[in-house]
Structure 1
């Protein structure tokens, strides 16, 4: 075994960073044996240096992250500070000064992954980011390496633990959205400002990364259709249960049937209880992959948290250090296919539409005519009068497969009917 240690710089020492440092220390001998050389924590860049960090030598702590990555003797930089800047500049600076990078920064990779990969390639360095998607679940490397000889057609998954906890609580207890969110916040699953999670921004960044790797195409965050889950109600869950379904916030990346384009989207959807993703409970994540040769695969596990995410970071660190010793680099950006990303309007799926309508003869015929005029075929219809004896009724329509553009046109036309009081909800139906 080589005796000179490989030097690691840690950018960020919060929940994840502190766990990375702890595991590097407590598992030092095992990590050295697996890598073929010891690793040494050579510096830790933080914003608040006065904070006590158990197990970390205060002499290693600095507020000058730029100076740390410019040192020249750093072999690997671990970036867990998140955000776009200064992370982007620090990563490219690390490449320029001889270091490879392990990152957990989904937002940055979704926005500027192509540029970062280009910088890594230019300087012959590694860029690994297993922890950027689905926490501890091995997913990026299986997609990039294990399935490199296969053709992936679809990736569909629950990639945000906060939203899955909230929806699971609404499903299992009948709680409303706010009540479930309050519980998630109290338990530490939701941030004080949960917008990134509940509005789908976090999942959309992960979808961009997954789509790019799966389809060998550059997919940016702006290419991903995003719809949050704040409007999901107890009534939606009741309708889902009547169909033998539940509701999940899904990230869906698909190759078109003709193979000529791809789509990436995040939104709530009904999925059958028979689908493996329907049984994913609490704050867990799961990703369902469909490919030509391997068929259907599912990856499941904790999608967030300090120790689980640090596990993914350390796995990348071991791989990058091994590459450093052998003088090689791992897989880089693979965007040779350069497939166009189709707009959401071209996505084809089924829909569940709940309408408030006048409770009188002829309404169903009017509604059915509007669907037919826009080329959307109806599968089932359920109508129920209001229990308070008012003059309105609830009309639930489940369609056959149709394009999103056709469905949107249908809904706009329905809203113009005098007999339609309102469109209570629209939910896509996936996984059938």
Structure 2
């Protein structure tokens, strides 16, 4: 099968090149101007559109197994493909938690049948499963995930000896959720004494505070420096934390890297008044100064990756009082269009968006033959019309939960086509119901 994309504005490796691109089967065969049209099965004229590498979202929660009333691998990967996300790395706090090799493999078997996008799953660490963690295959598993703040089930890792053992003994990338549990508990009790369970949402960022984040992330960085571990800090949410990360060496030489999420670049604590628990995340959305600090660190390369922490809950669950309303929200369908709004406003270049959402996740996780538009690489590609106005509404939301914190937001860039392994998986509002996702492999 040969597909020719003509006249595209290819965004890749800090350049924009007007060119044709030829796909043969699952690979990019040729990138050149005026590729001949003979012996081509499908020709797609991309004049005026940007052609990007498929987005790699390194942190999602697709809720399967065990929490599938919120979302599942099929529903959320369908939404991902519609948003230009061609590969995802899913987290282990499903039910049961993916903390043994057998439970981890169960998730891969589900995805092999159900995923529209390419997939990998993190192995979860606990206080007592080091032997299982050390069995993890670096060739076909993205990494090890540690929750240093509370999570579903038995996944809080708070034993210092266990942490040092994991950091010292595993050679795989360790991704961490950093919030200090003791600080959060103390803050919660202080506000609970005043308000009971119905704590106003405006205090969420003071409960899951700057101090809670910095105490935890600074300890993780210190431990990584001590042990030589390969550390990736998920969803940095404060300006203060950005001081922990370097921008004076190339990404390929960094042993400690960082990620920021779309919601922390978009919202501030002032939005709690209108959005309420719909923007209740852990770590919390914080102040305008924190948001600016995150943007500064993203643009000067202290922060390496943009992701979503996509974590759907039902609207009924979200409408509970503060202490009972779960944290997290759905974003994977809208992350690229939202970031392209920031390109439109001049806050970030489209080349930098591609670097942070496509290239860098591939580099950090050492993903094989993805994340770039290169001959011989997998044809995971996204066509974007950057002059197509639309509004996020329940009519066009594909998440199983049926809502988005972005509802009512008008966007000006639209994903028109998504290719997964050379196959047209999404075209002009319609997902191809045939599933083309593959298990990600890693050059380790």
Given the two structures, how large is their TM-score scaled by the length of structure 1?
Answer: 0.27
- Structure having the higher Rg: 1
Higher relative contact order (CA 8 A, sep 6+): 2
More helix by share: 1
More strand by share: 1
Given the two structures, how large is their TM-score scaled by the length of structure 2?
Answer: 0.27
